[in-house]
Amino acid sequence: MHHYDILAYIAAAWLAIFLYRKRYRRLLPLPPGPAKLPIVGNLFDIPVDLGWLKYHEWCQKLGTDIIHLDIAGTSIIVLDSYEAAWELFEKRSSIYSGKPSLPMVTELMGYDFNSSLLQYGTREHRRLLHHAFHPGAIATFRPHALKTTHALLCRFLDNDGEDVCQDIRQWAGEFSISVAYGLDVKPKNDPYIELTEDGNRTMLFAALPGKFLVNTIPILKYVPEWMPGAGFKRQAKEWRKHARKMLDAPYEAAKRNLRNTGGRASFSVLGLEKLNLTETMSHEEENVQGVAGTLYAALSDSTASALASCILLLMDHPEVFKRAQVEVDSILQPGHLPDFGDMESLPYIMAIIKETMRLRVIVPLVPHMAQAEDEYNGYRIPKDSIVIANAWAMLQDEATYPNPTSFNPDRFMKDGKLNPEVKDPGHATWGFGRRICPGRYLALEILWIGVTCLVSTFDISKAVDKDGKVVELSHEYEAGFITKPLPFKCSFKARSKAAADMIRTASGNDH
């Protein structure tokens, strides 16, 4: 037989197998899910708030770790187990590295610069992020972390927990703006921090499933503003102004500093130094600006939420806080505040952070998109489905984390060290596959130094009202794409006069 004939037979066999598998997949059933109405499907079933709870409830009721919903023709797949997410997002990452289209956010509101909302194919953004924030590079930003954390300790001294969430937001804003742009900020009412908070609030609100129908039915973006029901277009026009200011104002300030003084080490300055800047912004410079804007927005919200949650949990568990103080006291020299060189010697502090991120997951639902038809456990996953990992459910899995609703950092400890056999909640917290958060190492470092410095210098307790009664904590959260504790009060008391003096000295030396 001629070798061309052999190749023809092989090609025919391959084509037959391909067509069979394609037809076989189309014959597979969709995953189970709540009953669907004609045309609109589950449009009226999609939860607007606390969706992770409802999705988990449906999965429990149906006895499955994968469910299907239909929103007027758009397939939504929810994965309720770590195993399902790992199989699809990690092992088949080439299929699931896309992001769902959010026309309200990207096209109408102008957040098309945000790296976390772009499709995986944006290589320039990924290259910039990896270069700046891989584990070997983030030491560049440790001085920023120490300076902003020492300033936070000073605010705790002065304000005594009267508005702890505002103090923490200031800390997170200072750090993110310093890292992204190398800028100093005002101690109160800083315009850059206010821009971040306004922009993040509207962006995250608009990204929530069920908030705006245009995210599910993209053709609605072409509806004229004057038409009845097109209020979302007028709203987006107003919010677009926030997005533009948030992107441009700090970036232009960083460029001015670079021209005038050389600028301070930051993502923007390091990126701009490699470019030949002209009057017209190049494609490469647009990428630097977009990644800086993403970093500035993402770091501030996530780190603020995590530290506030940690303080809430520690106030409810004074025995955990006291044990953390004992660990820190055992390795710190008198007259010294914690530094990053102490991290390996303080495993219990890291266990507290891991348990906080497990119990108070920052991003409960992690959306991806299926870029090709696929199959999982005998179910069909249609191409272009929005595939959501329910990170909250994964981190509440009793088989992995016994008594999952309890705050127990010891679950991550064994023989005085971190136990590598316990699944790290970071696997679900930071995302999966090629969409994993590139700033995770930096975020973990700023959170670690914040918690460690707090533990080493303060005693914390619940606030007392004017009648001398203890103000109990509500543990209420603002439910959004990123969950955040609602404002609460507490009491911060320096452990000693020496601790207070040390804070003042460290903060003064940073300026």
pLDDT tens sequence across 414-468:
999 999 999 999 989 998 888 888 889 999 999 999 999 999 999 999 999 888 8
pLDDT of residue 120: 57
Among 84, 116, 79, 122, residue whose Cα is nearest residue 100: 116
With residue 367 as reference, give the H or E element that holds it.
Answer: strand 365-369
pLDDT at 280 over 70: no
Which structure tokens are listed for 128? Answer: 């910039």
The pLDDT of residue 6: 54
Q: How confident is the model at residue 121 (pLDDT cuts 50, 70, 90)?
A: very low
pLDDT in tens, 86-105: 999 999 999 998 888 899 99
Task: Give every CB contact of residue 128 below 8 A, 6+ residues apart in sequence.
Answer: 271, 287, 288, 291
Domain 115-361+405-509 annotated CATH 3.30.70.2190? no
Whose structure tokens read 């997002």?
89
307, 482 Cβ separation under 8 angstroms = no
Bridge-partner residues for 491, per DSSP? 461
- For residue range 326-352, list pLDDT tens digits in order: 999 999 988 899 999 999 999 999 999
Give the H or E element holding residue 381.
strand 379-381
Rounded Cα distance, 361 and 358, in Å: 5
Q: What is the pLDDT of residues 167-207, one digit of tens each?
A: 999 999 999 999 999 999 998 889 999 998 898 889 988 98
pTM of the model: 0.90
User: What's at 259, amino acid-wise?
Assistant: R
pLDDT for 278 equals 59
186-217 core/surface letters (b: 16 or more CB in 10 A; e: else): eeeebebbebbbbbbebbbebbbbbbbebbbe
CA gap 152, 172 in Å, rounded: 9
Measured distance CA(409)–CA(414) in Å, rounded: 11
Which residues carry a binding-site annotation?
A: 437
Tell me: pLDDT of 11 over 80: no
Mean pLDDT of the chain: 89
Output DSSP code: residue 280. S
Residue-range domain boundaries for the chain: 115-361+405-509
* Binding site listing for heme: 437
- Adjacent-strand bridge partners of 379: 376
- Residue 139, CA distances (Å) to 26, 94, 266, 506 in order: 50, 31, 12, 19
